[in-house]
Amino acid sequence: MEERRKHQRATVDEVAYIAGDGSSMRCRVVSLSNQGAAIEVPDRTFVRPRFRLMLEKDRIIRDCRVVWSSENRIGVEFLD
């Protein structure tokens, strides 16, 4: 499979939270770069195309846009 990422991602295992529409969902970030992330979610049907992501470790809130999804994983890009 051809690598399509523009930026290298580091493999991580970080607890995070997806927030939007007045609710939040616990998730796990499995890879991370300055421009995006791959995230494992309990149920991707509840993930909106745009949402906010907060890693439990650093508490930085990032605006995100879903760019791909597969089973219980989604790939997001961080918006400026």
Amino acid 59: pLDDT:
94
Amino acid 80: pLDDT:
78
Amino acid 19: pLDDT:
95
pLDDT(5) > 60: no
Taking the model in full, what pTM does it have? 0.86
Q: pLDDT tens digit string along 10-49?
A: 899 999 999 988 889 999 999 999 999 999 999 988 899 9
Taking the C-alpha atoms of residue 3 and residue 59, their distance in angstroms, rounded to an integer, is: 30
How distant, in Å, are the alpha carbons of 2, 3, 71 from that of 59? 33, 30, 27
